[in-house]
Amino acid sequence: MQRNTTPCYYTDYLQLDKLLDSQHPESKKYGPEAHEEMLFIIVHQAYELWFKQILHEMRAIYQEFNQTAIPDEALGRIASRLERIKAIQKLLIDQIQVMETMTPLDFLDFRDYLVPASGFQSIQFKEIEIMLGLKSKFRINFDQASFYQRLNEKDREHLQGLENEPSLFDCVEKWLERIPFFEYGDFKFWDAYHDAVNKMLDSDQAIIENNDYLSDNDRAFQLKDLETTRASFSALLDKASYEQLASEGRFRLSQQAMLGAVFINLYRDEPMFQQPFRVLTALTDIDEHFTTWRYRHVIMVQRMLGSKIGTGGSSGSDYLRQTTENNRFFKDFFSLSTFLLPRSALPELPEALKKALNFYFHPAD
């Protein structure tokens, strides 16, 4: 690294001449400028700046993930970048409060000039969705039918090209499938896990059956619940059942990847799994933040537009509401807790495996 040899000026560095000359209210073309249109423009531009930053981080994360073996040095970096995305998402959510200082009556002053522009047309946001794994086939009908045909040639080709590349979802899935410790010497983890699950559920069943304080109704309810739990565990471990559930849309990750994620969650205290656990947590948080942002958006649009149509000619808040649940990227991670065992019931890992999961150098040695 070296010092620069020509001076760097703030205004030039940030290209403020361009940046601050990019706000041209549409209302001005038809009469006096609507005071509130500036806010509308700037809120959306701020979104786009942050989308650019999110994409910048996602591409860097993708490059590290998209290798046959991810070096351990990389995981801390990946986790930090995912956590940065989370920090940015909080801003995106908080920005809604700024937008909401604009009242519906204010919005009416320029709303009709914007037809048919709509936030649904943000190319960068679609890029984020596609990179995270939301390919066309997962989109709701409205998007499938009308999104691509509204784009110009260049943007359409750009996004369709992106759909053909592996997404971050795909890379994460492959990484989880590679987790190597399910069998280590004589130790077969999933057998031990299966035994532990059965032992726990049998003991639960005995308690419920013998608990005198329970009414018959409550006992029946709890036993039925136990059966559901038993069935959930079986589905995870049985390839055929899992694939059946996956085909019904209950899972998107492969069984092997899901098992990897469960394993990391159960043994997250082992040094080698501390960062992978942090990465999984961050991916789950990112999914949660996006769905929160969409939900806040739904409510804001509902309030701003009432039962009229959105600026893009679509049925605004209804469309958005559907996407809150449909456009989830890592929803499978929200099911992980179904497959966890309390630490007290967890199979103990053999010493050799514990050593393998620890550092080469041991101060205590």
Q: Residues annotated as binding site for heme?
A: 297
Q: Which of 158, 192, 295, 318 contacts a second copy by CB under 8 A?
A: 295
Restricting to residues 70-89, name those near a second copy by CB under 8 A: 72-73, 75-77, 80, 83-84, 87-88
Smallest gap, in angstroms, from Cβ of residue 251 to a second copy?
Answer: 11
Q: Which of 105-113, 127-135, 191-199, 253-261 is the region at the interface with a second copy (rule: CB under 8 A)?
A: 105-113
Tokens of 148: 């691509």
Smallest gap, in angstroms, from Cβ of residue 357 to a second copy?
Answer: 7
Restricting to residues 8-37, name those near a second copy by CB under 8 A: 8-11, 13-16, 18-24, 26, 29-31, 35
Smallest gap, in angstroms, from Cβ of residue 135 to a second copy?
Answer: 22
For 186, what's the count of Cα atoms within 13 Å in the CB-facing half-sphere? Answer: 2
Show the site string, 241-270: x = touches a second copy by CB under 8 A, - = not.
Answer: ------------------------xx-xxx
69 is an interface residue for a second copy by CB under 8 A = yes
CA distance 138 to 136: 5
Residue 272 vs residues 79, 160, 255, 318, 349: alpha-carbon distances, Å: 14, 38, 22, 45, 14
CA distance 334 to 291: 13
Do the beta carbons of residue 26 and residue 110 sit within 8 Å?
yes
Residue 350 vs residues 118, 181, 187: alpha-carbon distances, Å: 57, 11, 7
Smallest gap, in angstroms, from Cβ of residue 98 to a second copy?
Answer: 5
Residue type for 164, please?
N
CA distance 280 to 285: 9
Nearer to a second copy, 141 or 344 (CB): 344
- For 344-365, letters b (16+ CB in 10 Å) and e give eeebebeeebeeebeeeeeeee
Smallest gap, in angstroms, from Cβ of residue 48 to a second copy?
Answer: 6
Q: Which of 133-141, 163-171, 186-194, 357-365 is the region at the interface with a second copy (rule: CB under 8 A)?
A: 357-365
CA distance 125 to 127: 5
Tokens of 349: 């890992």
Restricting to residues 106-125, name those near a second copy by CB under 8 A: 107-109, 112-119, 121-124
Restricting to residues 201-220, name those near a second copy by CB under 8 A: 203-204, 207-208, 211, 213, 218
Sign, CA torsion 49/53/58/63: positive
Restricting to residues 140-179, name those near a second copy by CB under 8 A: 155, 178
The secondary structure element, H or E, covering residue 188 is: strand 187-188
Nearer to a second copy, 14 or 136 (CB): 14
Peptide bond into 32 cis (omega under 30): no
Nearer to a second copy, 137 or 363 (CB): 363
Smallest gap, in angstroms, from Cβ of residue 215 to a second copy?
Answer: 11
